[in-house]
Amino acid sequence: MKSDNRKPLIISNPLSIDAQVHSFESAATGLPALNFAIPHINIARLTARYISGGSALKQGREVSRKRLSIAQAGIQNGDTYAHTIATQIERFELALKLCAQKEMSVELLCDMHTLITPEDNSRGRIREHQNWVGADKIENATVVPPPPAELNKLISEWEAFVKHEDITKPANALLAFSYFIASHPFADGNGRLSRLLLTSFLSSKREFSSFLSPTLYRLNHFEQSREELFATPRALIGGSWNDVISYWERAFAWQNGISQVISERINSVWLALSSQLALYCQPVNAIALLKLLFDYPLVTLEMICKHLKLRVSDANELLTSFCDLGILKCLKLKQPAQMIVFSCEKVFELWAKIDDLLFDPASFTAERAIAEVGGHQAV
């Protein structure tokens, strides 16, 4: 729903992507460096619930981390919504891997769209009808993307740019992202796919599991992100990218700064828990389990046997030792009745603090990030 009196911004016959490369690169010379080094946790998986779409963000966050972890452990307890989000995260992560492993093409775009929009009847197909953003009716829309007749040309130009340019360069990645989201080539799910593309492009040739996507900046910078929604299509039409680049400068600085804070908190918990294992008689298995707990803080005996390739007796001994040390807590679920799981409360507490950082603008501001990392350039 529109919250102001702006007329719909209609995108038709935008400037070609090749014609904009020079002006975009010139405007993007001051982009801060990104951080690719968050340790111990698969931060891409942890935060995927916030960028993978498929459920309202506020409603989705009402599913606690523990509920979601039960679903991700494959436990069938009747919690349909938690299982839906778990599947959504799994599909998003699979699409990220596809994007990193295969050469970009329209076919790959459609395959990724199919993966991450299972609820869409037109998934995996470039739209043949006009769509719009921001309202139920086109006359009340905030943005009206290009008509279907222009899409083949726009997507072909976009595909050629992504294939032939160094898309790992932040300026090229942002330009490709901007053209994709403004084109809105699918009937639905364009936002989540654009966030996936930018995350993949920026983390290409690196391990994306340690990379916090700068698209998460929108979580606690709503007004700035809303303005960027208008700035990007205006730039495609008029060729002035200053407002768009200004937004991403702040998002990149925020990503770098908050990644450092998150890394410090993770390392603190890791050091505390690993210190408790110093005298354990099976250090290799113990460290392997601790690593697993930072990504899956709720586990079952079957999970331990599968992930660590242990016999049941050895896995039982390991879990008992972790419970004795206070690293794990043994719990019985109501559904399925009397099922036993093991929970690492310290990691759940860590995850809650990370979530608070991402959502609370008072916890970590863009201004603080710029002050801390503003002088560093992107590499």
Check residue 222 and give its pLDDT.
82
Listed residue (81, 86, 80, 116) closest to 98, CA to CA: 116
Q: Residue range 70-86: average pLDDT?
A: 95
* Overall size of the chain counted in residues: 379
45 near 207, Cβ under 8 Å? no
Is there a binding annotation on residue 375? Answer: no
Q: Residue range 167-174: average pLDDT?
A: 96
pLDDT at 127 over 60: yes
Q: Residue range 39-48: average pLDDT?
A: 97
User: Is-same-fold flag (18-261; 262-353)?
Assistant: no
Gyration radius from the chain CA atoms: 22
Catalytic residue among 40, 83, 113, 184: 184
Is there a binding annotation on residue 65? Answer: no
Is there a binding annotation on residue 311? Answer: no
pLDDT at 378 over 80: no
H or E segment at 46? helix 43-47
Domain extent listing, the chain: 18-261, 262-353
CATH topology of domain 18-261: Fic-like fold (1.10.3290)
Is there a binding annotation on residue 267? Answer: no
Is residue 307 part of the annotated active site? The answer reads: no
- pLDDT per position as a tens digit, 216-252: 999 988 888 888 888 999 998 998 999 999 999 999 9
Instruction: For residue 360, count other CB atoms closer than 10 A to its CB.
Output: 12
- d(Cα 222, Cα 55) in Å, to the nearest integer? 18
Is there a binding annotation on residue 195? Answer: yes
CATH topology of domain 262-353: Arc Repressor Mutant, subunit A (1.10.10)
- pLDDT per position as a tens digit, 64-75: 999 999 999 999
- d(Cα 208, Cα 261) in Å, to the nearest integer? 18
Is there a binding annotation on residue 234? Answer: no
- d(Cα 117, Cα 148) in Å, to the nearest integer? 20
Identify the band that residue 21 occupies on the pLDDT scale cut at 50, 70 and 90. Answer: very high
